[in-house]
Amino acid sequence: MKRSEIIKKDGQWMWLVDGEPFVAYAGELHNSNASNLKHMDEHVWPYMKDLKINTILFPVYWEMVEKEEGVYDFSLLDGIIEKCRELNKKAIVLWFGIWKNGTSTYVPKWVKTDTENYFRAEERHGKKTATISPLCNKAVDADRRAFGKLMEHIKAINTSETTIAAVQVENEIGLLNSDRDYSEAAEKKFREEVPEDLRKIFDIDERGNYEQLFGEDAPEVFMTYAYASAIERIASHGKEICDLPFLMNAWIEKYPWRPGTYPSGGPIARYMNVWKKIAGSIDVMEPDVYVAEFDEVASQFTTENNPLMIPEYRRDVYHISNAFHAYGKYNALCMSVFGIEDLMTPPELRLGIFNPAVLATLNINLEAWQINGTPDVLNETFDLLANSQKTREKARKEGKVYSFARNNETEKGTVIETEKYSFQIVYNPVNKDKPKAAGMIIETDEDNFYIMGTSFKLMFLPKKGKDCNIGILDYEEGHFEKDSWICERPLNGDEGVFVQFFDHPETKRLELYTY
């Protein structure tokens, strides 16, 4: 039995850790906060213990693992895992190797300074970038060796218990500020005949170079194939050593939608078919979601036989309630808020301050980083979802989990159809300082339902064409404790006219009947 694996069973994605179903309700640390154990003791761990997360995502930096070529040091990783075990948290390790956010900032000094052996990608007019070219075989081989050593160490760490449940290979890879690499090695490859395995993915029979076969899309297709091929060399080696789920996150395609404004060649949804075929050792392609269009992104990343995992999610209280839609409609295996340590840190002590100018350059709205009100809502949402997980999984097998979320400020509501009833959902007015309307309905039999969510009211309608009335046999507010329903208060009086959910996550139980 594998220690951790992501499988598809009866049409549903499942994550099994030591044979038991697992779902990550997670948070990711700031990029540099895992670089010093003393810093973590002072600025991270004190603010983690009160968060209702079961998984921590944190980086392992190549530059700190292999400061001297061929000499490896995993003391940072060991110290962090020891603390994860004290707090009873699982971990997802992020390998900051050759590429992180479209650049090569975390490579060792001996790689950075040797630009002949570890050559850079170049822009159109020969300007060198800060990104090592994916066509640099020596760099890929060096990363491959270091990643293999990391996986050897993770295998040893997991011997006693499976703490590290998955590994993310690199981070938001691709090339920024240029549609493709114009280095000498890249120019040569770009003019050569397109490889047969890539032509097969696009059902192209004729032979030709990238421009001949892909036209204006040629630069990005070229970079996608180059990065995916390089990642497969790295990941396949690591997987042979320790077979954990491997993840690959994406800086998603967004306005102005030109390769280079987002990392060209990265695992965006449009080229997930290439990534799935060429980088077969990667189990899940993940979107980093800082945009407001959650449903659009989630639907794109659940194509190509890909489960939904979100390693980086925006932090504002208004959008946190999308968790109900993620775990409801999309059966997410992971949703992780970025900069999780900030949530419980007093404002005057926060170190992760984001410059508005930088966020504007990255096309990220400043409001995505606001955390006023977020800690309580996130804790309540994750606690609610975790304690109802088995109930949800059982209903999902029968297709009895329904979810919804306001997609834009003009939406008024929706209708959820079950076999016997229609539920009219009316969204509360928009208030950006409170969680938006979102929720989930779990049907345990045709008359019994658990309703959870925030900021909406619910009314009952007979099915179209049915001449009947709907009544309430039981209406309770309460909560789950390890999938056991605890009734806190029956509400069978005036409250039953409609079911109201306010601006904090809550759960209610309904038993209906027709007459």
pLDDT score recorded for residue 123: 97
What rounded mean pLDDT belongs to the chain? 95
Please state, in angstroms and rounded to a whole number, the distance separating the CA atoms of residues 349 and 351: 6
pLDDT at 254 over 90: no
Q: Do residues 259 and 365 share a domain? A: yes
pLDDT score recorded for residue 60: 98
Q: Do residues 406 and 383 share a domain? A: no
Q: What is the DSSP string of 67-101?
A: SBTTB---HHHHHHHHHHHHTT-EEEEEEEEEEET
pLDDT at 33 over 70: yes
pLDDT at 25 over 80: yes
Q: Do 389 and 483 form a contact (C-beta atoms < 8 A)?
A: yes
Residue 395 counted as domain residue: no
Q: Do residues 242 and 364 share a domain? A: yes
Does pTM surpass 0.75? yes
Q: Do residues 137 and 202 share a domain? A: yes
pLDDT score recorded for residue 347: 78
CATH number of the domain at 254, please: 3.20.20.80
What average pLDDT does range 116-130 have in this prediction? 96
Q: Do residues 329 and 477 share a domain? A: no
Q: Kindly give, in sequence order, each residue whose CB lies less than 8 Å from that of residue 455, ignoring residues fewer than 6 positions away.
A: 321, 427, 428, 431, 434, 435, 436, 437, 438, 501, 502, 503
Please state, in angstroms and rounded to a whole number, the distance separating the CA atoms of residues 414 and 309: 26
Q: Do residues 375 and 410 share a domain? A: no
Q: Do residues 382 and 476 share a domain? A: no
pLDDT at 353 over 60: no
Q: How confident is the model at residue 257 (pLDDT cuts 50, 70, 90)?
A: confident
DSSP element (H, E) containing 169:
strand 164-171
Q: Do 321 and 276 form a contact (C-beta atoms < 8 A)?
A: no
Q: pLDDT per residue over 480-510, tens digit each? A: 999 999 999 998 877 666 799 999 999 999 9
Please state, in angstroms and rounded to a whole number, the distance separating the CA atoms of residues 186 and 175: 13
Of 352, 387, 422, which residue constitutes the final position of a domain?
387
Query: Which domain covers residue 472, as residue numbers?
Result: 400-514
pLDDT score recorded for residue 176: 96
Q: Do residues 139 and 181 share a domain? A: yes
Q: pLDDT per residue over 362-405, tens digit each? A: 666 778 888 999 999 999 999 999 999 999 999 999 999 999 99
Q: How confident is the model at residue 188 (pLDDT cuts 50, 70, 90)?
A: very high
pLDDT score recorded for residue 363: 66
Q: How confident is the model at residue 131 (pLDDT cuts 50, 70, 90)?
A: very high
Number of domains in the chain: 2
Of 387, 418, 445, which residue constitutes the final position of a domain?
387
pLDDT score recorded for residue 359: 64
Q: Do residues 295 and 349 share a domain? A: yes
Q: pLDDT per residue over 56-88, tens digit each? A: 999 999 999 999 999 999 999 999 999 999 999
Q: Do residues 271 and 380 share a domain? A: yes
pLDDT score recorded for residue 14: 97
Q: pLDDT per residue over 417-448, tens digit each? A: 999 999 999 999 999 999 999 999 999 999 99
Q: How confident is the model at residue 416 (pLDDT cuts 50, 70, 90)?
A: very high
Least confident of 45-59, 225-239, 486-500: 486-500
